[in-house]
Chains A and B, each alone.
Chain A
Amino acid sequence: AQTVTQSQPEMSVQEAETVTLSCTYDTSESDYYLFWYKQPPSRQMILVIRQEAYKQQNATENRFSVNFQKAAKSFSLKISDSQLGDAAMYFCAYRSPNTGNQFYFGTGTSLTVIP
């Protein structure tokens, strides 16, 4: 089974600064999808950004961007101009089209934004 590793249980960033959350994964597949989800205290999972493995270009969504290194199996999330509302638990997820499209989640990184 695929494994997803988030090595930073907790991170903090000053408001308006930039922070990078790391994620690595292990797979033998060549075609897959990667995601970053945000889970605020409400517990609702919110999609932040997604990346298709066949695309070399890094995905960006406003202040959120990823650094996708397929050979290194790395998928980090960069949050620019951090805002107080960015404080949440962030989960990196891998989805395989070959195993019923189920998600494999990392253990999460708790992000604190300091005013």
Chain B
Amino acid sequence: GAVVSQHPSWVICKSGTSVKIECRSLDFQATTMFWYRQFPKQSLMLMATSNEGSKATYEQGVEKDKFLINHASLTLSTLTVTSAHPEDSSFYICSARDRQGKNIQYFGAGTRLSVL
């Protein structure tokens, strides 16, 4: 089946630094990718929809200047957490939709962000 690679799987950083998370579709093209945030023992909350070649669409309450999303190619979207603070510590998951319209979304394995 299709694979979505997410990197890194775990990152620890100091407060105030920026962290970039990559989401790649390995064997299909994805015009749309989604970024989710998941707190422990909670559901996935959609943060933003990333569209190739255009600006991301952010959900209400998500700071677009805080969470920068770039979808520069059909196989790569990046989420940058700028000036990270301890409250940004969470599990971030991306998903990608197959461009061929198979109506299936594939999820990455997630990135655990710990901000000290």
Enumerate chain A interface residues (CB-CB to B < 8 A).
33, 37, 42-47, 50, 91, 95, 97, 100-108, 110
Contact = CB atoms under 8 A, between A and B. Distances in A.
Interface size class of B (residues with CB under 8 A): 20 to 34
B78 interface: no
Given A101-B32, A102-B49, A45 B107 contact: yes
Nearest to B60: A1
B32 A42 contact: no
A103 B34 contact: yes
9 smallest CB-CB distances across A and B, nearest first, come from A45-B107, A105-B43, A43-B110, A44-B109, A107-B43, A105-B44, A100-B49, A108-B43, A102-B46
A101 B97 contact: yes
Contact of B109 (A43, A50, A108, A110): A43
Interface string B15-52: 00000000000000000101000100111111001000
Nearest to B1: A47
